[in-house]
Amino acid sequence: MRRTLDFLLLNWLAAEALTTRPRYAEHSRETFASTLDTCERIAAEQFAPYARQVDVDEPRLEGDAVILPPGAQKSARAYVDSGMLAAAQDWEDGGLQLPCVVQMAANAFFWKAGIGLGGGGLLTAANANLLMAHGTKTQQDVFARNEFAGRWFGTMCLSEPQAGSSLSDLITRAVPDGESFEQDPLGPRYRLFGNKMWISNGDHELTENIVHLVLARTPGPDGGTVPGTRGLSLFIVPKRLVDTAGNLTGERNDVAVAGLNHKLGYRGIPNTLLNFGEGRYRVRGGAGAIGYLVGRPGEGLRCMFHMMNEARIAVGMSAAAIGYAGYEASLAYARERRQGRPMGPAGKDPATPQVPIIQHADVKRMLLAQKAYVDGSLALGLYCARLVDDQRTGDAATAAEAAALLEVLTPVAKSWPSRWCLEANSLAIQIHGGYGYTRDFPVEQLWRDNRLNMIHEGTHGIQGLDLLGRKVLANGGRDFKALLDKFESTAARACEVPELARHGLALRGVSEGLEVATREAWRDGEPAAVLANATPYLEAFGHVVIAWIWLDLAYAAHLQLRSPDRLHAVPGLRGVIQTAGFFYDFELPQAQTWLAPVAARNPASRVMQDDWF
């Protein structure tokens, strides 16, 4: 994976150019490389050895404690020690002031080595980042900094048993805690009551405390309930109460683990049902989980979604990394495993020795498809991370363009890797034959682990609705147009290169097809009729985006092949161009078949009746 990341970061995305910006001035090509070196090494030494252990030895509830196997502890400590929790923070806050694109690339090593390991570090970082953006100075000092230091870990508590994707139906309540509730130095103090479902890292013994960020419904100005998402506010609810110096007060907050979900994969991270305020741990004289308001009442969802682009890009990147793990495993297997013989003009000669299966075209096809999926996904994820950097540290025009592209690309960066790197993992199993179906090889676990990514952080269906229902329409379609312009400039460049011109024309064709289908779908269309085909639209959009990425990569490889001071070895560069061609011939044509029903507002799903099933 390192070779791929180096090509993407240094060559394709010109990450080194970021060091000309003030925020990254202390960085250099060497500091980026050393970050990758360190993370690659720690992942290999402190993550990979425990990947199977946390799968086989699932989290279990003992009394009111969630117990994880030893590997979970070790990898969590190793992740904290790597400094990656605070990688994006300022130097003076103990951070590394790393660009997002380097941080994502470095994290990919951990995700590849063991997705359920490292204590779910990204969740803690996201939690703390949110507090840095919306919390008070005291909340940042007390909670965020202890999270960045790895002393406490964090969670995000959104879903409830009756409301997964539908956040407007959350019913967890928060009520002011006493007359003087506004005087608490940690923030306006409330008592929370309700049940939260699907809480990753909701309980564990990895750290001395856990910082829950909880969405709950606060009373409106008239004391009544505000319906919908506008009634939601955000709270810090520590498992153990703390003082303003960050010391534990010795009080257990009223947050109880009501159960563990036994998952198909991704088992290193315990997934819990949490009860807030059921009175199991009465605290300061009463039931109710004590929580401190973050930001203003009613703005909980806005605060919570602040980091959503990054979180969704991270999900896509982690799906890509799991896909990559399977690709590497099956490539190694295909090079070692001998079976069968090539077909000669006179058939096969059983007297000759068997050959490594990588010599069979169908095995190469399965490896090429994996490479197209996983490298394409990594590239898209890093491209988006680079946009995050541009949005934060680029000049005004750069930042504006980056923001526009990010809006449209984020649903794809989350959903496409989640779907197609899962398919890559299935192909990795297939290359292993019967062995791939057993626990003697890692690929079956990777396939199970990766299945989660189409579900969490906004399901696949939700991403489609977001894309077709909001993102391509936003700003009068200008964000979408910015992306189409990107397609065109890549296509134009490619058309100048004989080897790539065919693909340049194909990209122009599907780009126009995408634009036309989008316009046709919304022409006099009522939303319900248009959005019935949001998922096929998402699939098509994703394939077009990845085709664009692959052509851009092939162009970069082409330039490198011709460059006198070439950075990369020739075989790898040929592989990029070959894989791009594979994607254009074997994968991209599907996009148009998915777009046809979108453009026609095909009513098949809408018209279907319950009793016809």
Q: Which of 114, 436, 442, 504 binds its own copies (CB under 8 A)?
A: 436
| 103 scored as a contact of its own copies (CB under 8 A) | no
| Shortest spacing between CB 554 and its own copies, in angstroms | 13
- Find the binding residues for its own copies in span 498-527 (CB under 8 A): 526-527
**Catalytic positions, please?**
457
Contact string (CB under 8 A) for its own copies, positions 218-237, x = contact: ---------xxx--------
37-45, 239-247, 438-446, 488-496 -> range binding its own copies (CB under 8 A): 438-446
Residue whose token pair is 């969490």: 456
Listed residue (588, 462, 584) closest to 514, CA to CA: 588
| Shortest spacing between CB 188 and its own copies, in angstroms | 25
| Chain centre to alpha carbon of residue 248 | 33
- Find the binding residues for its own copies in span 196-215 (CB under 8 A): 197-198
The encoded tokens of residue 562 equal 């011709």
What lies within 8 Å, CB to CB, of 76 at 6+ separation is 117, 118, 119, 121, 153, 206, 207
| Shortest spacing between CB 248 and its own copies, in angstroms | 32
Nearer to its own copies, 70 or 589 (CB): 589
What lies within 8 Å, CB to CB, of 250 at 6+ separation is 240
Contact string (CB under 8 A) for its own copies, positions 292-331, x = contact: ---------------------------------------x
| 476 scored as a contact of its own copies (CB under 8 A) | no
Nearer to its own copies, 393 or 602 (CB): 602
Nearer to its own copies, 321 or 368 (CB): 368
Nearer to its own copies, 391 or 445 (CB): 445
Strands in 110-217 per DSSP E: 152-157, 173-176, 189-200, 209-217
- Find the binding residues for its own copies in span 153-182 (CB under 8 A): 159, 162-166, 168-169
CA distances from 428 to 82, 164, 195, 368, 582 (A): 30, 32, 39, 11, 18
Spell out a b/e string for 506-520, using b for 16 or more CB atoms within 10 Å of the CB, else e. bbbebbebbbebbeb
Q: Which of 282, 338, 562, 566 binds its own copies (CB under 8 A)?
A: 338
- Find the binding residues for its own copies in span 536-565 (CB under 8 A): 536
Nearer to its own copies, 106 or 576 (CB): 576
Question: Phi first, then psi: what are they for 210, rounded to 5°?
Answer: -130, 130
| 473 scored as a contact of its own copies (CB under 8 A) | no
Contact string (CB under 8 A) for its own copies, positions 384-423, x = contact: ----------------------------------------
548 and 504 Cβ atoms separated by less than 8 Å: no
| 581 scored as a contact of its own copies (CB under 8 A) | yes
What lies within 8 Å, CB to CB, of 533 at 6+ separation is 468, 521, 597, 598, 601, 602, 605
- Find the binding residues for its own copies in span 349-388 (CB under 8 A): 350-351, 354, 358-359, 361-365, 367-368, 371
Spell out a b/e string for 169-181, using b for 16 or more CB atoms within 10 Å of the CB, else e. ebebbbbebeeeb
389 and 18 Cβ atoms separated by less than 8 Å: yes
| 602 scored as a contact of its own copies (CB under 8 A) | yes
- Separation between Cα atoms, residue 128 and residue 254, nearest integer Å: 22
| 447 scored as a contact of its own copies (CB under 8 A) | yes
Q: Which of 94, 286, 340, 525 binds its own copies (CB under 8 A)?
A: 340
Q: Which of 174, 429, 500, 517 binds its own copies (CB under 8 A)?
A: 429
10 class by beta-carbon count within 10 Å (0-12 exposed, 13-18 middle, 19+ buried): middle
| Shortest spacing between CB 575 and its own copies, in angstroms | 3
Q: How many CA atoms lie within 13 A of 271 on its CB side?
A: 14
Q: Which of 178, 459, 488, 559 binds its own copies (CB under 8 A)?
A: 459
| 612 scored as a contact of its own copies (CB under 8 A) | yes
- Separation between Cα atoms, residue 194 and residue 57, nearest integer Å: 30
The encoded tokens of residue 200 equal 């990753």
68-76, 95-103, 449-457, 503-511 -> range binding its own copies (CB under 8 A): 449-457
Neighbours of 295 (CB within 10 A): 22
The residue count for binding its own copies (CB under 8 A) is 99
